[in-house]
Amino acid sequence: MSADRQSLLAIASRGHIEELESAWLDSVADPGPAAEYLAIVAALPPETYRSAAPSLLDTLLDSYKEKGRHADLIAVARELLELRAARTDDLVPLVRDAIQTLYGNEEWYDLFMTLANFEGTAEFAESLRRFEQLLSLLPGRVVFHRSGWGEGLVTSVDVPKESFSVKFRQDGILRDMPFTSGLDVLSSLADHDLRTRILTDLEGLQEEAKSAPSMLVRAVARLGKNRAAAKDVKEWLCGPVIEPKSWTSWWRKAKAAAIEDPWIAVDNPQRPVFVLRQRALTPEEELVAAMDRADGLGGLLGVVRGPMSLDPQEELMTLMLDRLGTEAGLTEGESGAMTIRRPLDCDTPEAAAQWAESVLLLLKSERLPAEAAHDAIDALISDELPFVEVAAELPSAHVRREFLEVFIAARPTLWSDAVISRLHELPSGLLGPVSDKLVAGGRGAALANRFGIFLMGPSRQPDATIALAKRFAAGKFDDIEGSPSVVDVASGLLRLAETQAPKAERGDKKAKPLMKSLLELIGTGKKGIVDEFVEEGSRADLEAALSVFARVKSMPDTLVANVVARVTKRFPDLAPRDEVPFWEQRAIFCTQAGIRAYEAEYRVLLDEKIPENSRDIGRAASYGDLSENFEWTAAIEQQRQLTEKAAAMEAELRLAQEIEDQELDDTIVSPGMRVEYTENGESKAVTILGPWDHGEDVISYRAPLAAGMLGASAGDTLTVELPSGPSEVIVTGITRVIG
């Protein structure tokens, strides 16, 4: 519809009759299609339609008559026939002449005039309706069978037999039927109807799907009383118009386009239903409507976030900022300065993040002074709403970095205390900037300390461990006192690989990218640290690395080959040996219960005792001069002891394997057996398990007595080296106690 007729439509819908009549006269002097003018008249309010429409349509009819526009004349006359009731004498000859001019030479003309009963006594309007219905049964037209066959394309007519043929899309069958039957059971479909276009203009639809996908959503909505859900769109378009394999990507684009379409309103954005509007909205109207539909501050941010990032016109930006400021609590103080009030319901990380994002947007747009923004963020962050939890709820890495900058400005000397103990909880993309800020602010030693703790239990915070290891490989820790050594880092990364490799092999979505990063860091690329690790590591360090590969068969071959080749070049005797009894391997064998108990002890150390010590260090540091601060010295010494113990326990747990998983031979002494024996003529019995197992008569397989009997069979006489000296032992019986 042209801009001229769009204007008429708007005037008609408001019911401004005098203004419409004046503009109407100018427009119909050179009129467009009748359908557009009929739509304008139909938009009149019901209370003015019957009084105003006849004169408007009479003027339009005269213009079409003068210009010889016969098809348009018939369309207008049809509407007037209904409006005028009995006063139709002037219309009938006009319509007859127009029909004769348009169709008089067609072979089916006489038949259609008879079937429409133009010569009979029926109402002229009814005869005209039947004649136009017959026109819809001509070849190339699409009809709809109301009783189940659906839409079909008319392929031919047989005038002598007074019949026609239709090929229906649903079953592909070509059916012949008399015109009289067609009048009763078929409906005509308009050229723009989606069902028509699928049968007559499929290529055009497919092109439109690429260039204007929301137009197809509109077309589907017209089939369902101007409403369409996602399933309706898929039912009509997936297959005939859009290839099934392309549906997901196309629908993502089409849904986004439909949401932006000024002719479409969207109900329930989570499970959208697309509703056709009676008129298109302007950008301002669309924005206001979307903001009106928004649910709370979070919904409003979802509306304005995108447009604000696209440098909108000043009027639109003002609309968004005004609404955002109101929703977020922006007010003008007595002095004229802008302040922002935290909402009462801002008590969860999600709600706090929404309010923080609003503060950032208002700050960036200069609606909110920097000082007020800093005060607002300072007041927002608390023990109940920690920085890391609020940052995690922000919508993007870019917004998180802005949030960090404002938080630092709000707490220039205290911000680091809020994040240093929770580095591993920082969201993606924020650990790097935070690390740089910590180093620049003189907290590099604290960062290095946290990195060292991560390396002791890397599987507990894998993302943070890898992020900091990348910074280590890039030299970011070179000048920081107390930083982990390359051996510490490589050993920690190998421990992490030990836990992630089996998961990655099983297809775990999180473990696969972690293993990719680990490969880059440890072993195969130019940035790998394996060369330094092999050069600086002790024999025990390198032997521990090889034991990881021996235990974990899912380690990537490239990594294993790279490390083994370098280690065995330095220590040839560490090259893999032939298989030995399982208890002679470097692993620590224990029952499942024993391992779980030791893990629980380790968790208490890591989760309770070390954090408690960190708090003690902080409290002691606040007492003043560290050179004469006994509490601080004692806390630092305790930290050293605790971290060394944690590292030792972590190393032992890395080597732990369950006795239940080993192949046990019932005829020889091994972990998992109860052994009966005589010593100096006295009968005794012990159960041989692991170093973390406890119970009556239970000893570790590493204890001198058990170690001396390992591998023996019943009846063997052995000399066992005990702390008290050599002793002769005779094995008299072996019984399995595991499995």
Residue 633 has pLDDT above 60, yes or no: yes
Residue 735 has pLDDT above 50, yes or no: yes
Residue 577: what pLDDT? 60
So what CATH class is 664-736? alpha beta
In tens, the pLDDT along 401-445 reads: 999 999 999 999 889 988 988 888 998 789 989 999 999 889 999
- What percentage of the chain exceeds 90 in pLDDT? 39
Residue 160: what pLDDT? 93
Greater confidence (616 vs 523) lies with 616
Residue 623: what pLDDT? 54
Residue 584: what pLDDT? 82
In tens, the pLDDT along 378-404 reads: 999 988 899 999 999 999 899 999 999
Give Cα separations from 173 to 170, 182, 216 (angstroms).
8, 16, 27
d(CA 2, CA 6): 6
CA 137, 143, 146, 148 torsion: positive or negative? positive
Residue 463 has pLDDT above 80, yes or no: yes
Query: What value does the mean pLDDT take over residues 101-106?
Result: 92
Residue 596: what pLDDT? 93
| Three-state SS annotation for 285-298 | HHHHHHHHHCCHHH
Residue 337: what pLDDT? 75
Residue 610 has pLDDT above 80, yes or no: yes
Residue 427: what pLDDT? 86
CA 348, 353, 355, 356 torsion: positive or negative? positive
Check whether domain 589-660 has CATH 1.10.287.180, yes or no: yes
CA within 13 Å, CB half, 472 = 28
Look up the pTM and report it.
0.50
Residue 242: what pLDDT? 93
d(CA 622, CA 420): 17
Query: What value does the mean pLDDT take over residues 73-96?
Result: 83
* CA-based nearest residue to 672, from 580, 594, 586: 594
In tens, the pLDDT along 656-682 reads: 889 988 888 899 999 999 999 999 889
Q: Coil, strand, or helix at residue 645? A: helix
Residue 37 has pLDDT above 80, yes or no: yes
Residue 628: what pLDDT? 53
Residue 626 has pLDDT above 60, yes or no: no
Long-range contacts of 526-533 (CB under 8 A, 24+ apart): 527/473, 527/474, 528/562, 529/472, 529/473, 529/486, 529/489, 529/490, 530/490, 530/562, 530/563, 530/566, 531/566, 532/486, 532/490, 533/486, 533/487, 533/490, 533/491
d(CA 444, CA 434): 11
Q: Please name every residue paired with 168 in a beta bridge, in sequence order, or none if there are none.
A: 152
d(CA 1, CA 278): 13
Tokens at 141, concatenated:
């037209």
The mean predicted confidence, pLDDT, of the chain is 87
In tens, the pLDDT along 237-246 reads: 999 999 999 9
Residue 15: what pLDDT? 83
Residue 525: what pLDDT? 46
Residue 526 has pLDDT above 60, yes or no: no
Residue 547: what pLDDT? 83
In tens, the pLDDT along 577-592 reads: 656 788 887 789 999 9
Residue 402: what pLDDT? 94
In tens, the pLDDT along 267-278 reads: 765 678 899 887
- Which run of H or of E encompasses 379? helix 370-380
CA within 13 Å, CB half, 714 = 12
Residue 335 has pLDDT above 70, yes or no: no
Pairing of strands 656-658, 588-590: parallel
The domain made up of 201-280 has a fold known as Arc Repressor Mutant, subunit A (1.10.10)
Residue 122 has pLDDT above 60, yes or no: no
d(CA 37, CA 42): 9
Residue 200 has pLDDT above 50, yes or no: yes
DSSP letters, 490-511, are: HHHHHHHHHHHHHHHHTT-TTH
* CA-based nearest residue to 658, from 689, 629, 679, 687: 689
Residue 600 has pLDDT above 60, yes or no: yes
In tens, the pLDDT along 130-140 reads: 899 999 999 99
Q: Which of 133-137, 172-176, 504-508 has the lowest mean pLDDT?
A: 504-508
Give Cα 383 distance to the centre of its chain.
Answer: 29
Residue 635: what pLDDT? 77
Residue for token digits 């650990």? 431
Length of the chain measured in residues = 739
